[in-house]
Amino acid sequence: MYAQHPRSDESAELFGNLVAKLAECSLVCTICADACANEEGDDLGRCIRLDTDCADLCASTARLLSRQPVIEPDVLERLLTTCAAACQRCAAECRTHAEHHAHCATCAEVCAGCAEACEQAAGRLRTNAES
C-alpha cells in the first residue's frame, strides 16, 4: 500500500516494511499488556507499562511514516531512535518473564525485531543526511 501512494519515492520499500513491523509490534505489545494484566500471582506492572509505552510509540511512528512525504528527516531519525529504545526496553523486560509467559516470549522477539528495523532505518537516514 505504501508504494502505491502517488507521492511515494525510493524510501517506499524501507518505510513500507517498517510501517508493517511497527504496526505488528504495537499490536503484539497491546496483547501482551492485556495478557499480563490477566496473569495471576506475578508482579507484571513494569511489563504492562513498558508494553503500553512501546505500543503507543510504535503506533504513532507507523502513522507518521504513513504520511507522504514523510516528516523532516532529522525529526524522523530522532523518532525512530526513540522508538527503537522503547522496543529494546520492552524486549528486555519481557525476556525476564518469557520462561513463565509465552506471550512475553513472543513480545520480546517482536520488539527486538522492531528495534533493529528502527535502528537500521535511522542509520540510513543519518547516512543520507551526511551525503
pLDDT band with cut points at 50, 70 and 90 for residue 30:
very high
pLDDT at 31 over 80: yes
DSSP states of 52-71: HHHHHHHHHHHHHHHSSSPS
pTM of the model: 0.89
Q: pLDDT tens digits for 112-131?
A: 999 999 999 999 888 877 76
Average of per-residue pLDDT across 69-85: 88
Number of domains in the chain: 1
pLDDT at 70 over 80: no
pLDDT at 26 over 60: yes
CATH number at residue 7: 1.20.1270.360
In sequence order, the 6+-apart residues with CB closer than 8 A to the CB of 17 are: 117
pLDDT (0 to 100) of residue 97: 96
Provide the residue range defining the domain that includes 76. Answer: 2-130
What is the C-alpha separation between 89 and 79, in angstroms, rounded?
15
Average of per-residue pLDDT across 57-84: 89
Average per-residue pLDDT for the chain: 89
